[in-house]
Chains A and B, each alone.
Chain A
Amino acid sequence: MSDSSTLITRQEGLRPTKEPLRVAVRRLRWFRASFRSQTEVITENTGYGFEILEDRLTAAFISWLRKVEAQRPADTADRPAYFDFAAGLMLRELLSDPPLRVTHRPAAPDKDAPETIWPEGFVCTTFCLGVRAAVFAQEFDASTRIAPEFDEARTWWSFFENVGEDAARAAGFFQLFVGNEPDWLMPDVFHRAMFRTSIETTTDKPRLSDHDPS
């Protein structure tokens, strides 16, 4: 089994950019390059190989972009909760029609590892968690935590089965993985109260997004 927390917090897969990450992630070329690169990191660490389906990846990006732009809050105080929500919504859009398929499996996989239970779901989830961690680090100088449920096989089986029935539940599982209380009824609608963002601010320096509404 891979060390999931390390994969997420290293953020190796994300393309370097001079722009704020919250801006870069809303550009298709950054989104695509980072997703590709993150997939390669997962392949190196798990032994699973993937083919990326570019049309589906672009469709997910377009759908996600429209939904997050439509629900963007005016109050900057809502930013941490909104970033949590946006990352969960990204996972929902990616998993509604997964933009990758498995081309290679390791010889002796750990049957209880998340990547074995659902390889495509694992790549998409670690990508969204990685983006969230990187944005929180940049915007709030804060580290993020992953809930213990992320490493539980039974949660991953439930995740896989639930998303197969209704892709919107992916956003709820994402909130579970980051330690928030999921809203299972309307997981893809933003309302601040549902988020108790689990970040640990390490300094009191001004937040990047407090000065830039973009």
Chain B
Amino acid sequence: MTADRHAQDPQTGIMDGLRTLRHVARQVKRHTKAFGPDRVLPEPFSHQARSMLEQVDGVTSMIGRQTEDVVRRILKGTHGPAQSLDTLIKDRNAVEAFSRTVYSGLRTALEQLEAKDALVLEAAAQQAFLATLDEMNPDQDEFSARLYVHLLSKQVVRDVADSDTTTASAQDIPAIAVFAVVLWLICDRDTTDDGELIQACSSLALGLRKEIIIAGQDTATLFRLFSEFRHHV
């Protein structure tokens, strides 16, 4: 472990902050839409409440748009094709490369799980990566399982909204999405479209959700699951 690996990445902090702001703005917007002033207030109070909510909606939409623009500008040119865990570890900026990859993988996985409004924090992914590297070498058998446990315990996926449309319970979504991304990082790769690969990993994770949830933090069981399916995505 080198000192560089532990160095704080300011860009990640800025992007996580902006994403959190965008997430909060979206939450506020969703809640204001769900709140129907006409149902709970008589006129003229309901009219005033509607007017106030429209202003809140306008402000949150603007915050959401502007933060998306800033994140997009910061990220411009930093996204290459997703790489395997073996390749990421050899990267000169392994920690940042890892967290960028995990972020993009989680976003796709969460979208497939119908939970795209969840918050994903790169800083948490970096902490999980460093914690795993502190415990073991990447070539050790249970590295993938330990990485999964750390990603979950650092809460890389947060604030999953309860919804009728999610494919699993909000409580289980982080474990399913993180399992999908770790599987994606270690699975056999060829020329297949990367989007198709993470989608297949998400489907497998969803199909294995009972086993994943029951496994909890049991790295031996998790390692068996990763080993069983890494060549079958």
Contacts and interface: CB of A to CB of B under 8 A. Distances in A.
Interface of A: 18-19, 26-29, 32-33, 54-55, 58-59, 61-62, 65-66
Given A18-B190, A26-B232, A65-B232, A55 B206 contact: yes
Given A27-B233, A28-B233, A62-B208, A54 B203 contact: yes
A55 B61 CA distance: 34
Interface stretch (B75-83, B144-152, B192-200): B192-200
A179 B233 CA distance: 32
Interface in B177-233: 188, 190, 192, 196-197, 199-200, 203-204, 206-208, 228, 231-233
A29 B192 contact: yes
A28 B187 CA distance: 12
A28 B204 contact: yes
Interface of B: 167, 188, 190, 192, 196-197, 199-200, 203-204, 206-208, 228, 231-233
Contacts of A29: 192, 196-197, 199-200, 233
8 contacts: A26-B232, A27-B200, A28-B200, A28-B204, A29-B200, A55-B167, A55-B206, A58-B203
A37 to B, nearest CB: 14
A28 B203 contact: yes
Given A26-B232, A27-B233, A29-B192, A62 B204 contact: yes
Contact of B200 (A19, A32, A55, A65): A32
Contacts of B188: 27
Contact of B207 (A26, A33, A55): A55
Q: Which of A29, A59, A65, A66 has the most CB of B within 10 A?
A: A29
Contacts of A55: 167, 203, 206-207
Nearest to A54: B203
A65 B208 CA distance: 13
A33 B200 CA distance: 10
A121 B204 CA distance: 24
Contacts of A62: 204, 207-208
Contacts of A18: 190
Contacts of A54: 203
Contact of A58 (B192, B197, B207, B228): B207
Contact of B204 (A19, A26, A33, A58): A58
Contacts of B207: 55, 58-59, 61-62
A66 B196 CA distance: 22
A28 B192 CA distance: 12
Q: Give me the 7 closest cross-chain CB pairs, A-B, nearest first.
A: A29-B200, A58-B207, A58-B203, A28-B200, A62-B207, A59-B207, A26-B232
A69 to B, nearest CB: 8
A59 B233 CA distance: 13
A61 B228 CA distance: 13
Nearest to A62: B207
Interface centre among A28, A33, A66 (most CB of B within 10 A): A28
